[in-house]
Structure 1
Amino acid sequence: MVLLGHIFPNFKAITNEGEIDFHEYVGDSWCILFSHPHDFTPVCTTELARAAQLSEEFSKRNVKLIALSCNDVNMHKDWIKDIQSYGNLDASKKFPYPIIDDKTRALAEKLGMIDPDERDNAGIPLTARAVFIIGPDKKLKLSLLYPATTGRNFDEILRVVDSLQLCAKHKVATPVDWKNGQDVMIQPGVKDEEVSQLFPKGCKVIEVPSHKNYLRMTSQPE
């Protein structure tokens, strides 16, 4: 498994758009690599359609998407037509992100994407629903791993991107259920005497029984 903060392994792969070098594909962008168990399956179709519907929102945030499945390129190309139909996407336009051919499961094994409880007709384990968010520095910023039976929430993944990018730029953290534009929390490592300089919009300390001033709220920085 890849650990948070570590350089995400580079690899070469074949996709429906041709061969890629992963680090070159990421470039100076953020990137979300997400896997799915199998082409032409119900939950996966809904997920890839939703990701495609949100592709412009991810693009606004300088985020590239790339999917992975243990099926070959030709199957990916055929399946994309179903994804476009389900998601009411314009079939005359290029599909917004590539899908990696991992029919040997070599990449899924390397990245710890295998779900041992879900198997294909030949009894071979399928890939789980992994989500890796990689920064422009090629380091892993977030990882999620869902079983094959549970579909992901791409609105939540978009929210997480907002949080990661904000916290990478400012010394803040986002509280529970935070949404873009809402107040944030000042990181504990920021000294009280630094607050006014770093956060000119002010700071509100929430009082708690311990009388420790660690719950410091401020408006979301620009």
Structure 2
Amino acid sequence: MQTTIETAITMPRIGDQAPDFTAVTTTGKLTFSDYAKDSWVVMFSHPADFTPVCTTEMSAFAKEADWFAERGTKLMGLSIDSVHSHLAWVNNVREKTGVYMEFPIIADIDMKVSKLYGMLHPGESATAAVRAVFFIDPKGVIRLIMYYPMNVGRNMHEIKRALVALQTSDESKCAMPIDWRPGDKAIVPPPKTLREMDERIANTEYEKIDFYLAKKDI
């Protein structure tokens, strides 16, 4: 029980500053804070190289690399494998499918980064990272975390939707309703004073369910 409590305390949470680290990757040794400077980062772990589900996922990220770049977002992968295994796997996937994983993949052989980010879930595996996804903004703050088990692949459509929703929310100072997609109306922050409530009630521009739930075009 003590180990479980300690693990829970050290796991990064939404709103925390992303832990910094220096690691060996497929693009060379890098320090996260340097790599992520002034950029969004989507960092994702996979259990192991040369495994089927991981190959489909990492290939999907590689195929969407330009889409993420257009939205000011860098990609970074991780697994508890050596850099030699990573390089062999990247090359194998390129030879077999034509997909080239050019983004850095961390060789977390000592599990340092996996432990730092809470990617090791002993109930699932003590030696392989689960399928975690961290969305980190240009200020280095963790904005969203997704966890998937080893036997279920991630949803790339949701990862992309979530990133756009986060970025749009920051730009518009609004919140995003369930299933929000670009082009949909956003939720206006609820009033915090009686005066703001009366102004909201009188407002005819918003789509209102009630004063606390109003939407607008963005």
TM-score range, shorter chain: 0.7 to 0.9
| Superposition pairs of residues 1-222 of structure 1, within 5 angstroms | 1-85=11-95, 88-89=98-99, 95-119=101-125, 124-189=126-191, 191=196, 202-206=205-209, 212-220=210-218
Q: Is the 8 A contact 1:38 1:126 kept in 2?
A: yes
What displacement does 1:154 show? Answer: 1.5
The DSSP-based 3-state class of the residue aligned with 1:103 is coil
In structure 2, C-alpha distance between the alignment counterparts of 1:15 and 1:193, rounded to whole Å: 56
Structure number with higher helix proportion: 2
Q: Is the 8 A contact 2:19 2:116 kept in 1?
A: no
Residue identity in the other structure for 1:43: V
Residue identity in the other structure for 1:114: L
Q: Is the 8 A contact 1:130 1:146 kept in 2?
A: yes
What displacement does 1:189 show? Answer: 4.4
> What are structure 1's unaligned runs of at least 5 residues?
207-211
Residues 149 and 204 of structure 1, relative CA distance in 2, 3 Å threshold:
same
What displacement does 1:55 show? Answer: 0.8
**TM-score, with normalisation over the residues of structure 1?**
0.84
Instruction: Name segments (4+ residues, structure 1) moved above 6 Å.
Output: none
The DSSP-based 3-state class of the residue aligned with 1:133 is strand
The DSSP-based 3-state class of the residue aligned with 1:127 is coil
Q: Is the 8 A contact 1:65 1:98 kept in 2?
A: yes
Identity of aligned residues (%): 35
Residue identity in the other structure for 1:218: K
Residue identity in the other structure for 2:213: L
Residues 38 and 215 of structure 1, relative CA distance in 2, 3 Å threshold:
same
What displacement does 1:202 show? Answer: 3.1
In structure 2, C-alpha distance between the alignment counterparts of 1:126 and 1:172, rounded to whole Å: 38
Q: Is the 8 A contact 1:46 1:86 kept in 2?
A: no
In structure 2, C-alpha distance between the alignment counterparts of 1:174 and 1:114, rounded to whole Å: 31
What displacement does 1:171 show? Answer: 2.1
Tell me which moved more, 186-195 or 103-112. 186-195
Q: Is the 8 A contact 1:185 1:217 kept in 2?
A: yes
In structure 2, C-alpha distance between the alignment counterparts of 1:189 and 1:164, rounded to whole Å: 21
Report the counterpart of residue 209 of structure 1 in structure 2: none
In structure 2, C-alpha distance between the alignment counterparts of 1:36 and 1:138, rounded to whole Å: 22
Residue identity in the other structure for 2:113: L
> What are structure 2's unaligned runs of at least 5 residues?
1-10
